[in-house]
Structure formats: C-alpha cells, structure tokens
Structure 1
C-alpha cells in the first residue's frame, strides 16, 4: 500500500479549502468570479471524501501511482472493464484515507491551538513578572 496519493490529496485539500482563503483576498476574488458550475463544485467538494475520490482519479491518471498495488493487475476475466473498476476502487480507498487524515488533523488541531495559546499566556506572564 502506498500513501502517496492520499498525502498529495490531503495536502491539496488543506491548501485549497483551509489555507488559500486566508492568504489574502486574491483567492477569494477568483472564487467569487468563477462560473456557477465551478463555484458549485468548489462549495460541494469541501467534503474530504468527495474531493479525495476525484483528486485520486486525477492524480492516478497523471502519475500512474496506485494506493492499493493489488489493483494494478485486475483479473483477466473482467476484460476491458478491469481498468475502470480498478481505478474506481483505488480512488475509493484513497478518498477514505484522505477523509481519515482530515479527521485526524481536525481532532488534534483544537488541543494544539489551545496548548499554544496557554504557552503564549504563560510566557507573557513570566515576562510581566520579570519586569515588575
């Protein structure tokens, strides 16, 4: 099993929906001016599983990398349907990993931020005590 596609997909999901909107107005300006079908996709694909499925298909097509190596050699009796079935199943597995990664990051984000805030408050209090 290769986590390459899942890591790439998770990185792209984080970049597009969590980081770029906060990096200035230019990205939000572009999103507001998208044609309605593309604006709908931007809103609909916030779901890490949905985005993960489609980005896994695209990345597999671009790179040739599979998450589940066993799907690279589908049984011969499937004929021409073997390749699309393999891509579909691999994209489903990759989307599940992307969703799991997103949930893990979300779960650790709140305690990490709270810990950082507490550390900053402690340092500030220590500096105030030293100056008094």
Structure 2
C-alpha cells in the first residue's frame, strides 16, 4: 500500500512539474511573439528588403536557405544589426493576388542574396 502511494505521489509530482514547465514555456513563447510582431515586409525594386517590426523599420538581406512553395514561404533574413530574422508566410495569411505576384517575382528573379546579384551584375 505504501509503495503504491509513493508511486502515485511521484507520478503526481511529475505531472505537476510537467504542467509548470509547459506554462513557463508558453509564457516564453507568448512573450517572444509579443515582442516580435511583424507588421510589414517590403521587397524593394532594387532587390533590398524592408521589414517593419514593432513600429521600427530595418533594412534586411535575404539569406540562402529561404524556401518558397505554393502553400507557404519561409524567408531567412539578416538585419542591418546582423541579427537573423525568419518570416513564415502562409498562402491564406496574405492577399491571394499579392502572394501570387510574390511567387512570380521569386521565379523570375530567384532567391538571390544581394552579394549574388552584385556578382551576376543584377
């Protein structure tokens, strides 16, 4: 009976610890999301990018490893201050026509970094 009770208490402690850990992790995620709300992403005609985050505008450079599909796009950027920033765009989170235009421009110009464009004379 005592061993059964001790197993029960240990499992209850594990559940409590798991719940506390989950709550703490959710707090960190929500806090991070609150601090990094992206409001606008602009691809300039010269190939540069502007990202407006929390009312601040930063110039950004598209990095290799970005992915564009018909359903979503994962774009990796390096900001002016050398911080990395990842944007995930889902097809249904933006205007359908804008997403189509974006994909067409990516197909035409490619996912080239500024250095690659300069090397190719773009």
Taking structure 1 as the reference length, the TM-score comes to: 0.27
Considering fraction of residues, name the structure with more strand.
2
Q: Which protein is bigger by CA-based radius of gyration?
A: 2
